[in-house]
Amino acid sequence: MNKALPFSKAEIERIIEKYPTPFHIYDEKAIRDNARKLLAAFAWAPGFKEFFAVKAAPNPYLVKILQEEGFGADCSSLAELVLAEKAGLTGENIIFSSNNTPANEYIKAKELGAIINLDDISHIEYLDRYAGMPELISFRYNPGPLRGGNAIIGLPQEAKYGFTRKQLIEGYGMAKDMGAKRFGLHTMVVSNELDPYSYIATAEMLFDLVTEIYQTTGIRMEFVNFGGGIGIPYRPEEKRVDLNLLSREIKKAYEEKIVKQGLAPLRITMELGRMITGPFGFLVSTVLHKKEIYKNYVGLDACMANLMRPALYGAYHHITVLGKEDWPLDHVYDVTGSLCENNDKFAIDRNLPEIEPGDILVIHDAGAHGHAMGFNYNGKLRSAELLLRPDGEVKLIRRAETLDDYFATVDFCGFNL
């Protein structure tokens, strides 16, 4: 797969004149087009809704763009609830799915009218005590041992998330007794998965569970949420998940397991994040230094505070050296940042064209879990976020942090300075 860019070197150089590197930049047109493809693929599904996983790219401009395309928001914290609200989302356009949740977050979710998706059976009474049982409630299912696992999310039985099957049956009865009248079912057992059949298996599992819950308790599910987890092709040789194939197979399972059981209509929902914005965000950085010791290094003005996935997961992110796209990849470098951590590397032993200080590097697929996972260790400041509009305009949607921001929460008054 060709790792194309929505801008040229000359265009980026003009942007840098106003907004110095490092920065993240997002392609609005590509994000909108991608959102429309997903909705078109699942147009057959009654009441289909995608709740964008705000944690992937928590910028109100991006959430607003997706709201305009018909998406809701999947939130997992108070800040994400407020962000969704400021982007114009309220009520059942929000699903609140967190864990180890404090009471004030449940209260805010209830005030917004969000769908609350509980992570544990003990949270049923906790929610009712502090916020009151809503009319619509959902539970997250943890299926326990499954064949294989997923590199990021791990084996379900090792995960901290969700109800057991037995707890689900008991929990729905408890919630009904407390006043709940409408019910949903959620799970998420894969992350960054490129095999569509893993996601299809998730759908089949939930459809079967919907039938079992109805036969055991008489409770009909209003919706199922397959979670997120559809991956993106970080490596050039990888392929995107075929949404049309995914849709066809899920539709077959829906007709066999839901329609034939007399349990339709059952709304299908998702909470994709990475797949929606990931391929359409880029970290742009300038080479500051070269170092030649036991290995060859190039040092950027970005660091893992701008993109920590390679350090956290050993994740691959493709790198383009602007203006050298057609040069031979005949040099091997570790591409590093300036953090005082040896794992502060964007690439290890990467074949790239010859690089010199001043070159501009673009790190691909940084539009999800990139800027969002930033931090201030070592006093590093988080970079700006820019939006490339369909007409070519570039809009600043989050300014870069300053030293004043870094010290804003510190009280220096006690010092004799």
Cβ-based neighbours of 88, under 8 Å, separated by 6 or more: 64, 67
Cβ-based neighbours of 200, under 8 Å, separated by 6 or more: 246, 249, 250, 253
**Nearest-10 Cα torsion for 127, 175, 119, 141:** -170
Nearest to 226 by CA among 48, 66, 99: 48
69: its two tokens: 């395309």
My answer on whether omega of the bond before 357 falls inside 30° of 0, hence cis, is: no
Nearest to 270 by CA among 36, 74, 34: 74
Tell me which of 75, 303, 340, 413 is the catalytic residue: 340
Q: What is the torsional sign of CA 384, 108, 54, 372?
A: positive
Q: How many CA atoms lie within 13 A of 274 on its CB side?
A: 22
SS3 state at 84: helix
Tell me whether residue 340 is one of the annotated catalytic residues: yes
Residue with tokens 């294989």: 148
Q: What are the phi and psi torsion angles at 373 (to 5°)?
A: -95, 15
For the chain, counts of helices (H) and of strands (E)? 12, 17
The answer to whether the beta carbons of residues 301 and 381 sit under 8 Å apart is no
Catalytic residues, which ones?
Answer: 340
